[in-house]
Amino acid sequence: MSNELKYEIAPMPSRYGQSQTALRQSSDKGGPLFRLPSLDRLSVKFIRFLTSAALFMAGGLLAVYGLFALTFNERGGSTYVMLVGHRLDAHLVGAVSLVVGLAIIAAGFAHVLRGRLHH
């Protein structure tokens, strides 16, 4: 018996037009070609922390921008914001930014709470 590596080249099954049994049988032949390493609990917590921190920062910046846009008024006249070449009312842009920012912050809290419930 030789110590040479043996490779088998087999066509990949199509996802469309084959039953689940055919897909399962074709994948059982040699096992998966590539497996992702399992993440330990510490690295999952770290990734969850980074994701939550990014959500909090993005939501906070957007909410602060919305507050500034809502409260800023130049000499009593209408204030506009240029967005993609269009002039939009600054108060409308501020209100939308504030609501979206608060929604992103809420998503960050939900992400943190979901992590604590699962672990």
Whole-angstrom distance, CA of residue 55 vs CA of residue 1: 58
Q: What is the pLDDT of residues 36-93, one digit of tens each?
A: 667 777 888 888 889 999 999 999 999 999 998 888 876 766 778 888 888 988 888 8
Q: Output the pTM of the full model.
A: 0.59
Q: What are phi and psi of 112, to 5 degrees?
A: -65, -45
Domain ranges for the chain? 41-118
Compute CA distances 101 → 30, 36, 65, 115, whole Å: 49, 34, 9, 21
